[in-house]
C-alpha cells in the first residue's frame, strides 16, 4: 500500500512538474506576443509617419493582424512537427522563433531614421512571431491535455489561458513599471524597447525549462506504434476528420472575437473612446485580467464535473445578450471603477470559452494528428476573426460607425452558440481518453 501510494504521489508530482514547466514557457511566449499590443500606444509613431492617433493605431493594428495571418502557417508547420517529432521539440522551436522576432523589434530604428524599412522590419518580426504563436498554441494545448490526469483534464488544460493571459499581465506589469520609472517622452522614445529586450532574455530561460520537460506519454506510445514519422501529422490524415475540423472553426469563432475584444482591444477603447488616461487604463486592464486568470482553473475544474458543453452554452447565451449594452456603457463612462466592473463582467462571460477551449479541441482528435488538428483550423479562425477584431473596431470608429462593431461581436458569438447547441459533450468517448494512462 505504501509503495503504491508513493508511486501515485511521484506520478502526480511528475504531472504537476511538467504542467508547470510547460506553462511557464507558454507564459513567456505570450508575453512576447502581447508586449506588442501593450506598447503599441507608445511606439506607433516610431514606425509610421505622423498623423492622428487613431490612424497610427490603425497601422499598428494592421501589423498585429498580419502577425495573426501567419498563425495558420505556424499551426500547420509546428503542429506537423509536433506530431512527427514530439511536443517538446516543437515547443522549443516555437520559443526560438518568438525570441528572434522580439530582438528584431528591439533593434529596429525609427521611420524617421530608415524610412519605409522600419515598418517592413516590424512586419517581418510579427510574421516570425505569428508562426511561433500559431505553433505554440497547438502544441501547448495538446501537451497540457495529454500530460494531465484523466479526471482533471479540464483543470490542468485551463492553464493554457492562465499562462496566455498571464503573459498579457506580465506585459502590462512591465508597462506600468516603465510608466512609473520613465518620463512619458523617454517611454515613447526608447523605453518601450526594454519590454521586447526582456522578452528575448526570458526566452533563454524557457529554452532550458523545455529541455527538462518529459515528452507526452500519448505521443511516445503513438510513436512506438507508428515508427515512421511520415505517417503522423499529415494533412491527408487530418482531412479524414472534416466534421471535427469544422467543429473547431465553429466553436472558436465567437470565443476568439470576444476574447480579443475584451482583452487586447478594450485598453485602446478606454483610451480612444471613453477618454480614460493611458496609465489608468493600464491599471484597469491589469486587475481585471488578474481576476480573469484566477477564474480559469476554477471553471476548468467545474467542467471536469459537469462537462464542457454547459460552459460553452453559458458563454454563448450570456455573451450574445450582454455584449452590446456592456460596450455601449463602457464607451460612455470615464469612471475607472465602472470601467473595471464592465471589463471584468465581460471577462467572466468569456471564461466559459477560454477555460476549456484547449481541452475541447484536444478531445476531438487522435494522437497522430492531435497537434495539427488542434492548431490548423483554430489558427485559421483566429487569423480571420480574432486577429482582425481590433482592426475592424478601429476602422469602424474611424468611419464613424463604432457601434456596429458591438453587433459584429454579438453576431460572431451567436454563430458559435448554434455550434454549442448542436455539438456533443467532448469529455465522453474522447480519443484522448483512449490513449492516456497518466496517474490520477
> What are the tens digits of pLDDT across the range 42-77?
877 777 766 656 666 666 667 766 777 788 888 888
More confident residue, 97 or 43: 97
pLDDT by residue (tens digit) across 134-177?
A: 888 778 777 877 776 677 888 888 888 888 888 888 887 898 89
- 119-147: average pLDDT: 82
Structure confidence at residue 194 (pLDDT) = 92
Residue 73: name the closest of 373, 440, 376, 397 by CA. Answer: 376
**pLDDT exceeds 60 at position 440:** no
Structure confidence at residue 12 (pLDDT) = 61
Distance CA 325, CA 333 (A): 13
Structure confidence at residue 434 (pLDDT) = 60
Q: b/e map of 333-352 (b: 16 or more CB within 10 Å)?
A: beebeebbbbbbbbbbbbbb
Tell me, letter by letter, the H, E, C secondary structure of the chain.
CHHHHHHHHHHHHHHHHHHHHHHHHHHHHHHHHHHHHHHHHHHHHHHCCCCCHHHHHHHHHHHHHHHHHCHHHHHHHHHHHHHHHCHHHHHHHHHHHHHHHHHHHHHCCCHHHHCCHHHHHHHHHHHHHHHHHHHHHHHHHHHHHHHCCHHHHHHHHCHHHHHHHHHHHHHHHHHHHHHHHCCHHHHHHHHHHHHHHHHHHHHHHHHHHHHCCCCCHHHHHHHHHCCCHHHCCCHHHHCCCHHHHHHHHHHHHHHHHHHHHHHHHHHHHHHHHHCCCHHHHHHHHHHHHHHHHHHHHHHHHHHHHHCCHHHHHHHHHHHHHHHHHHHHHHHHCCCHHHHHHHHHHHHHHHHHHHCCHHHHHHCCCCHHHHHHHHHHHHHHHHHHHHCCHHHHHHHHHHCCCCHHHHHHHHHHHHHHHHHHHHCCCCCCCCHHHHCCCCCC
**Percent above pLDDT 90 for the chain:** 25
Structure confidence at residue 117 (pLDDT) = 85
**pLDDT exceeds 50 at position 1:** no
Domain 17-226+240-434 class? mainly alpha
pLDDT confidence bin for 231, thresholds 50/70/90: low
Tell me, letter by letter, the H, E, C secondary structure of 75-119.
HHHHHHHHHHHCHHHHHHHHHHHHHHHHHHHHHCCCHHHHCCHHH
pLDDT by residue (tens digit) across 255-288?
A: 999 999 998 888 888 988 888 888 898 889 889 9
In angstroms, the Cα distances linking 104 to 98, 125, 127 are: 10, 6, 11
- 33-41: average pLDDT: 79
More confident residue, 377 or 152: 377
More confident residue, 408 or 212: 408
pLDDT confidence bin for 302, thresholds 50/70/90: very high
pLDDT confidence bin for 321, thresholds 50/70/90: very high
Structure confidence at residue 113 (pLDDT) = 85
- 355-375: average pLDDT: 84
Threshold 0.85, pTM exceeds: no
Residue 140: name the closest of 209, 70, 90 by CA. Answer: 90
- 425-438: average pLDDT: 65
Asked if 406 and 281 touch (Cβ cutoff 8 Å), the reply is no
Amino acid at each position: 500500500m505504501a509503495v503504491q501510494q508513493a508511486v501515485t504521489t511521484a506520478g502526480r508530482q511528475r504531472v504537476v512538474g511538467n504542467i508547470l514547466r510547460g506553462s511557464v514557457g507558454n507564459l513567456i511566449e505570450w508575453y512576447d506576443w502581447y508586449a506588442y499590443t501593450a506598447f503599441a500606444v507608445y511606439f506607433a509613431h516610431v514606425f509610421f509617419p505622423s498623423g492622428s492617433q487613431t490612424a497610427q493605431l490603425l497601422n499598428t493594428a494592421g501589423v498585429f493582424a498580419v502577425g495573426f495571418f501567419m498563425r495558420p502557417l505556424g499551426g500547420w508547420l509546428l503542429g506537423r512537427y509536433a506530431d512527427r517529432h514530439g511536443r517538446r521539440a516543437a515547443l522549443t522551436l516555437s520559443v526560438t522563433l518568438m525570441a528572434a522576432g522580439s530582438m528584431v523589434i528591439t533593434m529596429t530604428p525609427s521611420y524617421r531614421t530608415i524610412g519605409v524599412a522600419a515598418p517592413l522590419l516590424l512586419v517581418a518580426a510579427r510574421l516570425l512571431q505569428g508562426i511561433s504563436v500559431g505553433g505554440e498554441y497547438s502544441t501547448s494545448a495538446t501537451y497540457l491535455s495529454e500530460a494531465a490526469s484523466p479526471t482533471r483534464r479540464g483543470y490542468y488544460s485551463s492553464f493554457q489561458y492562465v499562462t496566455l493571459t498571464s503573459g498579457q499581465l506580465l506585459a502590462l506589469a512591465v508597462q506600468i513599471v516603465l510608466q512609473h520609472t520613465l518620463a512619458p517622452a523617454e517611454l515613447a522614445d526608447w523605453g518601450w524597447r526594454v519590454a521586447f529586450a526582456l522578452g528575448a532574455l526570458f526566452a533563454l530561460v524557457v529554452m532550458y525549462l523545455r529541455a527538462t520537460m518529459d515528452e507526452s506519454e500519448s505521443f511516445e506510445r503513438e510513436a512506438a506504434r507508428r515508427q515512421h514519422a511520415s505517417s503522423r501529422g499529415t494533412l491527408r490524415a487530418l482531412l479524414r476528420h472534416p466534421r471535427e475540423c469544422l467543429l473547431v472553426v465553429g466553436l472558436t469563432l465567437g470565443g476568439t472575437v470576444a476574447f480579443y475584444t475584451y482583452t487586447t482591444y478594450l485598453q485602446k477603447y478606454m483610451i480612444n473612446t471613453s477618454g480614460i488616461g493611458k496609465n489608468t487604463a493600464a491599471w484597469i486592464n491589469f486587475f481585471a485580467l488578474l481576476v480573469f486568470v484566477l477564474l480559469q482553473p476554477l471553471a476548468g475544474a467545474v467542467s471536469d464535473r459537469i462537462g464542457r458543453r454547459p460552459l460553452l452554452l453559458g458563454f454563448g447565451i450570456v455573451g450574445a445578450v450582454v455584449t452590446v449594452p456592456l460596450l455601449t456603457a463602457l464607451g460612455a463612462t470615464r469612471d475607472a471603477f465602472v470601467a473595471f466592473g464592465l471589463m471584468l463582467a465581460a471577462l467572466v462571460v468569456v471564461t466559459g470559452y477560454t477555460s476549456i477551449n484547449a481541452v475541447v479541441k484536444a478531445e476531438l482528435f487522435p494522437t497522430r494528428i492531435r497537434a495539427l488538428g488542434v492548431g490548423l483550423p483554430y489558427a485559421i479562425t483566429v487569423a480571420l476573426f480574432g486577429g482582425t477584431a481590433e482592426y475592424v473596431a478601429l476602422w469602424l470608429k474611424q468611419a464613424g460607425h463604432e457601434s456596429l462593431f458591438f453587433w459584429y461581436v454579438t453576431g460572431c458569438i451567436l454563430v458559435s452558440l448554434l455550434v454549442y447547441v448542436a455539438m456533443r459533450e467532448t469529455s465522453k468517448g474522447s480519443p484522448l481518453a483512449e490513449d492516456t494512462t497518466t496517474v490520477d
